Amino acid sequence: MSTRAISDYALLSDCRSAALVSSAGSVDWLCSPRFDSPALFARLLDENAGYWSIGPACPAEITRRYLEDTLVIETTFRTGTGTAVLRDALALGRRERGHALGAASPGALMREMTCVEGHVPIAMDFAPRPEFGLIRPLMEPVRGGLVAHGGAQTVTLSCPVELRVRDATARATVTLRAGQRLCLCLHTGPAWEPEPQCWHPWRVHRRIGDTAAAWRSWSRMHSRYQGPWQEQVGHSGRVLRALTFAPTGAIVAAATTSLPECVGGERNWDYRYTWIRDASLTLQALATAACEKEETAFFSFLAGAAAGLLDHDTDLPIMYGVGGEHDLSERSLPHLTGWRGSAPVRVGNDAWRQRQLDVYGELLYAAHELSCGRFDPVTRAFLVSAAESAARRWQEPDQGIWEMRGPSRHFLHSKLMCWVALDRAVALASTLQATDQVPRWKRTRDRIRAAILTRGWSEETGAFTQVFDGKGLDASALMLPIVGFLPGDDPRVRATVDAVATRLTDRRGLVLRYRTRDRLGGEEGSFLLCTFWLAHALALTGETGRGEQVFRTAASYANDVGLLAEEVDMATGEPIGNFPQAFSHIGLINAARAIRDGGSRPGQ
């Protein structure tokens, strides 16, 4: 059973796949060649599911950081005899710069340990376990390293020192003295293709430097945000880029699967996919972080993946694989015990089958957020169809933004986003060449507005509620001012924001999604995204000072290298959930902008 804290990990990315490396120098998660590929290292979910560790063979004081403006992680080990520095990176394409990040990534995980003072004994363990630990590969030495065979992948380890192989694990020990370095590299490739050649140590050294230069180049091109929390906004923009699958522009919700929302519980989902739900807020965040190319690529992916699916009888899928796949059928991996015993471990996500009416609003909102404002005929027709579907289906029940696995209900947020779909369709009507539809869209938009104001507001609760004619609070009601349904100074908005702040927060000031009981066991944690929503909404109500305080509370749960999880355990204050979480970083960016602008909405 894996027990290391989720916050102990740092993210590596080549904009196609992701790895997580612990502060002790152990890569405990790697999916390659795609974010949603079966894991080669999955010790994050089970001690026997593979890892690759390197570090001092003696006690050490450990510090780490990302090299400035990069996602190259540098870990410093100070021992009684000397100091060693480890640099880890997933290789970007040779001399890739700026917007091209990930276009030609070679699929190489590079590691360089350098002794900078005295001498340090180093130990390395290499234990690949393909397909989430199902396979214990056969290892054979080759010139410059070894090759591991088993399953659909061949794994090549470039290593210039002697390796001892036993029980499908390769080990090496070496003492480095000041000025000496040990350069290692892992390649994966299809088993039916020629084995990747081992890299010379100097090649590893050069490519780590080149990868750092590539990230710095991208960061320089995306650094126009000026204001409070500038460093955090810039870093969050890099995290969103790191979670982007470069070939398609898809952005995954997180790099992992089955890190739980409740320790020891069953709220364990696969987040290595792209949700339409996230689209509009993602595009706002990308715009704030000056990521225009990423905006366009992301929306083009969404429109392409969803096009052709709107008709009178078919629900629009809410999520897709990074290549545009629709069928994301869920299954459990019973051989894995899960992080801290949180089972089942799942791959795939059956939420793809759900009806969520908010997706129409997310698409139109996302289209409206794009600065270019131009669409090809197929995309125009698709967006018009999305508006028509919202107009036709807004009165139907669904599963809502939080994908509740229970009966369909009339969720306020879903109605709100149908209103957004028609409101943005009206604004885009000329661009969509659909001005003839405007009178009808306006009439339906006004009907939805009237329904939200009457059935979504509860005098007894003193706030907008989770479902029509209900009494329970839901953090998604904070979106009412954020999407422009009501102004921040509306008394009902102020009352709802205050209700969330006082009745839907934990003792740390973090916001819960809701308190409604669902069909799943265990209590989930507090949501960082919802806490950033509260900071954002407070800024819109004019209470910028309170918004700043809430923002600082949420941002304080980033780990030592600035990464945010999905939730925070209410009992322990420990970050939990899939990691790092794109939505949390999106919330940070958008709230920072709202506070900087004194509550003005984009475009105002």
277 and 306 assigned to the same domain:
yes
Structural domain including 205 reads: 6-219
What are 168-215's pLDDT values in tens digits? 999 999 999 999 999 999 999 888 888 788 999 999 999 999 999 999
Query: Residue 139's domain is classified under what CATH number?
Result: 2.70.98.10
Q: With CA atoms as reference, report the closest residue to 13 among 43, 41, 38, 33.
A: 33
In order, the DSSP letters of 288-309 are HTT-HHHHHHHHHHHHHHHTT-
pLDDT for the residue numbered 307: 67
Which residue, chain included where needed, has tokens 């952005």? 251
Does residue 123 fall inside a structural domain? yes
Which of these three, 219, 247, 269, is where a domain ends?
A: 219
- Residue 500, domain member (yes or no): yes
Residue 197 confidence (pLDDT) = 85
> β-strands 457-458, 346-347: how paired?
unpaired
Instruction: Say what the pLDDT of residue 604 is.
Output: 46
CA distances from 442 to 421, 423, 425, 481 (A): 11, 7, 9, 19
CB 96 within 8 A of CB 103: yes
C-alpha span between 523 and 513 (Å, rounded): 11
Do 202 and 250 lie in one domain? The reply is no
Q: Has residue 602 been placed in a domain?
A: no
| CATH code, domain with 329 | 1.50.10.10
Give the pLDDT confidence score for residue 520 in this predicted structure: 57
**375 in a structural domain:** yes
**Are 88 and 104 in the same domain?**
yes
Last residue of a domain, one of 219, 245, 265: 219
Query: Quick check: pTM over 0.85?
Result: yes
Residue type, 419: W
CA 295 – CA 432 distance, rounded (Å): 19
Same domain for 226 and 141: no
Residue 183 — φ and ψ, nearest 5°? -110, 125
Is there a single domain that holds both residue 103 and residue 46?
yes
In a domain? residue 215: yes
Instruction: State whether 229 and 214 are in the same domain.
Output: no
Rounded to the nearest 5°, which phi and psi values hold at 442?
A: -65, -40
Helix (H) or strand (E) holding 491: helix 491-503
Domain boundary (190, 219, 248) is at: 219
Judgement on whether residues 410 and 504 belong to the same structural domain of the protein: yes
Could you tell me if 397 and 294 lie in one domain?
A: yes
Say if residues 339 and 264 touch (Cβ distance below 8 Å): no
Q: Give me the number of domains the chain comprises.
A: 2
Both 159 and 244 in one domain: the answer is no
Query: Is residue 1 a part of any domain in this protein?
Result: no
Domain assignment of residue 347, yes or no: yes
d(CA 593, CA 429): 28
Asked if residue 543 belongs to a domain, the reply is: yes
Cβ count within 10 A of residue 499: 18
Q: How far is CA 523 from CA 205, 512, 532, in A?
A: 47, 11, 21
One domain for residues 291 and 416:
yes
Positions in the chain whose pLDDT score sits under 50: 602-604
Same structural domain, 456 and 558: yes
Q: Are residues 211 and 248 in the same domain?
A: no
